[in-house]
Amino acid sequence: MDKRQFVGTALGAVAALAAGVAFAGPDAQAILAASDAIRNPSRAFGLTTTLTEYRQGKQTDVTSLAVYSKTDEASGQFRSLLRFLAPARDVDKLMLKSGNDLWFYDPANKASIRISPQQRLLGQAANGDVVTFNFAKDYRATLAGEEEVSDGDGQKRNCYKLLLEAIKADVTYHHVEAWIDAASNRPIKARFYSESNRLLKTAYYRRYEKQLGAERPTETVIIDGLDPKWVTVLRFTNWQEREVPEAWLQRDYLPRFKSE
C-alpha cells in the first residue's frame, strides 16, 4: 500500500468511526424513561392534584382530585384511581385508569361509563393529563438533536429534543415533541399534537421539589395551542408513599369505594 492509499484508508476509518459515534448518540427511549422516572415515583403513591383554569389572566374554574397510583407489573404502565374533592357538585365522583381504559363513575346514578382520555376535564387539561402515565410505554422516541429552550420560569436550558410517536391507538395524543434537560433528564417542556398535526397545547414542567426520594415537578402549566391566554395550571401536593389496594383498581369495585 503506498502512502496515498494508507492516508485515504486511515481517513476513511476515522470518518466511519465518527459517523458511528454520531449515529449511536444518547438513547432516546432511555432519556424518555429517565424523564418519566422523575415525574412519577416507581412505587405506589398518593397525591392531590388541583387544576386551575385562567382566561385572559383571570381565574375561571378550579377542580381538585385525590390521586392513587401504582405501576402494573405486567405492562409497566400506571393504574390510577382519582376521587373528585372539589367543586362541591363533583365530590366523590371517581375516575379509574386501568391500562389505557378510562372509566368515570358517578355515585348519584351508580353508573360507570367508559370515557376518552382526550376528553377535556377542565380548561386545557384532558382526562389523560391528570392520570399518572409513562410516556416511554406508549410512545416511540426519536432524538431530534439538542436545543436551548426557555423553561417555565424563563431560564435557558440545554435540552435533548425528542419526537414521540404513539405506538398505541388509545393514547391521549397522536404525537409529542418533548424537551428533556440534557444534564439531569428533567422534563422541561412538551408540545402535544393531533393526528392532523394541529398543535393542541404546550406544557411546562416546573417548581421542582424533593418528593418521595427525588426532585420532581410539582406544577405543570398547560397553554392552549391557539389561544395563549387560555392557561390551565396543575399543582401536585400532599405526596405520600401509600398502599393502593388492588380492589380499588377494579371497575366493579367503584360503587363500593369509600373515601378516606
Q: How far apart are CA 175 and CA 62, in angstroms?
A: 28
Residue 29 and residue 185: Cα distance in Å, rounded? 12
Q: Tell which residue, 18, 17, 30, has the closest CA to residue 142.
A: 30
Q: What are phi and psi of 218, to 5 degrees?
A: -110, 10
Over residues 82-111, the pLDDT tens digits come to 999 999 999 999 999 987 789 999 999 988
Residue 72 banded pLDDT, cuts 50, 70, 90: confident
The answer as to whether 9 is a domain residue is no
pLDDT tens, position by position, 25-36: 799 999 999 999
What is the share, in percent, of the chain residues with pLDDT greater than 70? 90
Distance from C-alpha of 93 to C-alpha of 105, rounded to nearest angstrom? 6
Structural domain count, the chain? 1
| Residue-range definition of the domain harbouring residue 209 | 29-256
* CATH number, domain with residue 175: 2.50.20.10
pTM score, whole prediction: 0.87
Residue 75 cell numbers, joined: 405492562
Residue 144 lies in a domain: yes
The set of residues, in sequence order, having a beta carbon less than 8 Å from that of 197 and lying 6+ positions away, is 175
Q: Any idea which residue has 392534584 for its cell?
A: 49
CA separation, residue 93 to residues 105, 127, 235 (Å): 6, 14, 20
Number of other residues whose CB lies within 10 A of the CB of residue 70: 23
Distance CA 86, CA 136 (A): 31
Is 18 within a domain? no
Query: Domain for residue 5, yes or no?
Result: no
